[in-house]
Amino acid sequence: MKLVLIADTFPPLRTSGAVQLRDLSREFVRQGHDLTVLLPTSDLGQPWLLEDFDGARVLRLNAPKTKDINYVRRTLGELSMPFVMLRNLRKSPLAAERWDGVVWYAPSIFFGPIASALKKTGNCKGYLIIRDIFPEWAVDMGLMGRGLPYRFFRAVANYQYSVADVVGIQTPGNAVYFESWKKKPGRELEVLQNWLADAPVGHCSINLKNTILAGRRVFVYAGNMGVAQGMDVLLDLAEQLKAREDIGFLFVGRGSDAQKLAANAKARGLDNVLFHDEIEPDEIPGLYAQCDVGLVALHPKHKTHNIPGKFLTYMQSGLPVLAIINSGNDLVDLIRRERVGVTGTADSFDTLLKNAKELIDHCAGDHTMKHRCRALYEKLFSPEKAVAQIVSGLSKSMGVR
């Protein structure tokens, strides 16, 4: 199939979304599809830039800045983004292109207009990959009420949903947000698991043998450190385990709370904690090979269901997880059913502490959990399965071209 993929994150960015879309693009090409990726880029200095990425065409389109700016400017930038992208697409060598299917990735919630335009031009169907139920999670977190801003963002999100013929949610629990949407004939709602390409263990710029964590069994957290993660409880855990000289905590990444967390750890005198800036995605397997347990943290106020990208990287590397997440999250059932770690909440800290000790002690002498982690990754989270499912979802309603 001749497909176009629209997203707002892609290499050289290092976010989990960028890594996912990198792996998805490579797999589309590997399976013989003709793929074009459309990306908004704020610092091009020209309307468009066409690149080759491992066999896929990547068209970067000049668009307003939407990252690392205040909320008002970001909202205005995202609102105009799809229209500016369309204008610059029409100036590019791909202006006359027609595609057999349109695939787009949320976040962002603002791609509805460009997805709709490309669907109409190609007379084709659209598949929305949704990883983020916004603005609902922002309301759950107390970042937004249900006033005018919420109604505005909800209207934007609903429009994006209305453009899609197939919506791929990441867990069954998120189906509740699409009850009305799926009543319209011709619409399909399905669970599309997150995915991650297998990667060999290679060089890592972090060598724990040369750090304060040398010789310790290590809990590792790699990824975004922001409000949505609610990571203060991890420092509480590290403080309670400070007397265990055989245990350490490693935090790798960036985010709005990263500096605050590092300063907090220093103020508490936690000599069992190490913070490090984000590293290249290809270094992650080499990092995890030095660690023992992967940490997942989601703020307890969340009500939407989420399987973070870092969970996939832990499973891929055979790392059992200690997940501190909102009650009722589908990830809780998955971890317990597959026996790949333990879960807890900040509300029952004593149980969390007990589980953490038992898990890392258990991992020291039993490798069966490591094998279960790898088996779960191979069963659910391969890009091969994701691409096949997306293509099938588009083909069922349009016929293969």
Q: What's the predicted TM-score (pTM) here?
A: 0.81
pLDDT at 400: 41
Q: Classify residue 276 by its DSSP letter.
A: E
CA distances from 262 to 250, 267, 302, 356 (A): 11, 9, 24, 21
Per-position pLDDT tens, the chain of length 401: 999 999 999 999 878 789 899 999 999 999 999 999 999 999 888 999 999 999 999 999 999 988 778 888 888 999 999 999 999 999 999 999 999 999 999 999 999 999 999 999 999 999 999 988 888 878 877 778 888 989 999 999 999 999 999 999 988 888 989 999 999 999 999 999 999 998 889 899 999 999 999 999 999 999 888 766 668 889 999 999 999 999 999 999 888 788 999 999 999 999 999 999 999 888 999 999 999 999 998 776 656 667 788 899 999 999 999 998 877 778 888 999 999 999 876 567 788 889 899 899 887 767 789 999 999 998 889 899 999 999 999 998 564 43
pLDDT of residue 365: 67
Q: Which residue ranges form the domains of the chain, and what is each CATH number?
A: 2-197+382-398 (3.40.50.2000), 208-379 (3.40.50.2000)
Query: What is the per-residue pLDDT for 388?
Result: 95
By residue count, the chain amounts to 401
If DSSP codes are grouped into helix, strand and coil, which group holds residue 51?
strand
- Closest C-alpha among 364, 336, 19 to residue 217: 364
Give whole-number Cα distances, 344 to 47, 172, 210, 309, 356, in Å.
Answer: 49, 21, 32, 19, 9
User: Which pLDDT score, from 0 to 100, does residue 139 have?
Assistant: 81
Given this model, what pLDDT does residue 69 score? 81
Cα separations in angstroms, 308 against 76, 193, 321, 323: 28, 11, 12, 11
**Per-residue pLDDT at 401:** 39
Distances (CA, A) of 40 to 62, 86, 338: 6, 10, 39
Q: Which two tokens stand for residue 251?
A: 């935090």
